[in-house]
Structure 1
Amino acid sequence: MSRRATTAALALALVVGCLVGAAVPAGADPDGSSGNGTFGFSDSNGVPLGSEVPDFSGNSDGPPVTYQVDFFDGLAPEDGTYQYDDGCWGATVAEGQGGQTWAEVQATLTEYNDAQAWGVCAAEETFDLVAYVEQMWQTEVAPPPPTPLVVNNGHGSVTGITAYLEIGGDPTPTQTIDNPIGPDIVITMTPRYVVHWGDGATTETTSQGGPPRGGDLTHTWIDVGTMDVTVEAYWRATWSAGAVGGNLPELPNPTSETEPVPVEQWQAVID
């Protein structure tokens, strides 16, 4: 991706006799009446981004992804020198709060493409797909809870005897989100489980356990009572969009599920 033009870089256009203002912020009047208009010559007529709003399932853990319009000061000039007349407008993921919706950014780019000497960048050259996926992972993807939880086939447990836990659900769930500039993005999630057994003991594992005498996720209680077994699933992921992809870091907030397990004490009776 080419670097964003700064106001100082844009001012270089004055040297060749063109009046150039600061980069126009998203939503500004592109005809120059706002005082931020930009005038110049351009042979850059890139492909505008699509106008369809990306479709995804919301995750209340974070704010929604927003976007902004930025100016790019020439896409990889061959001689390595700044070419203001090759600049163009493009959409990027907004940093922090205060960006625009996808539809608002598209409307701004349409105005710029119609009214500005500089056109709209080719989307695949200026839109940071990795940053987009990372923000979607943090704010919009919704990993599932680790459910159902089953201990000893649902029959409770007995003090001093090994209990077996099974964690239900898909161990590698996927979610597909729209890619504004290409093939759909497929996110494949993988959990790390932290099991709280209800008596202060914990176990960390990537296993989903199994039924009695067949699973590897076990615990032995020594006290009688109802034990609230809680499983927290911490999710990491990989993503792919056609031929490109990468890894996504573990989310800080887990999904979780709790199952109350009655623990009894049995005693042998001798006549």
Structure 2
Amino acid sequence: MTPGQSTRFTDKVAVVTGGSRGIGAAVATRLAAEGAVVAIGYRGNQEAAEQLLATLPAGRAIAVRADVADPDQTAALIEQAVTEFGRLDVLASCAGIEHFGTLESLTPGEFDRVFAVNTRGQLFAVQHAAAHMREGGRIVLTSSVSASRAVFGHTLYAASKAAVESMVLNLSAELGQRGITINAIAPGGTATDMATEHGASYQHPQLRDVLSMAQWLSVHGALGRLAEPEEIAAGYAFLASDDAAYMTGRTLQIDGGFF
């Protein structure tokens, strides 16, 4: 989207967790392009965060190191955004980690780490963000199409994302009493560094040495390709805007017609 094409988020303040790379960076860019002031949370890649900041309007974005696995760091991110910009209107929770592993290989440590980031991290991001939101606040979490599809070795990750969809459904009733909406995006395969590293693992094990990733996508997706991060970000922008004022408790799948 060309900056200035839409002004849906003029005078709005947004926090984007996991905002330095991939879908999170695209979300931060999209919200800023539509007028938002943005606080970008990142866990470790300071260079990527600073590079993103350099592309956003001067004085209208900050980057704050925050590992969402630690709720105190998430609270500090949100507090800094409110202190810096005076309010909070949008939370886009994009931080997450991937995981593949067979049942026999799973460990309690892996379970704790995946759920700490993908599930607990998002829950407490909501808790801290909602405490600062007024009526009209918008919260958008991140699930995955994996929450509703069977993939070999993906049980732990899929479970962590399915829990997010349940949180969104149930929190909608509670937050709705305050005029705050909460929804989730469930992305399909997206052209990010995570897809580069793990994309082949989504194929059936017997097909991984037979079909290239492009061939596999061509027969399992209506559009036959990965999404661009900007295409997924458009969904976050919709749910964060007044255009989605009557939508809450729902998970929107953006998967290119995957089957």
Give 1 or 2 for the bigger CA radius of gyration.
1
Indicate the structure with greater strand content. Answer: 1
Answer 1 or 2: higher relative contact order, Cα 8 Å, separation at least 6.
Answer: 2
| TM-score calculated relative to the size of structure 1 | 0.29
Indicate the structure with greater helix content. Answer: 2
| TM-score calculated relative to the size of structure 2 | 0.30
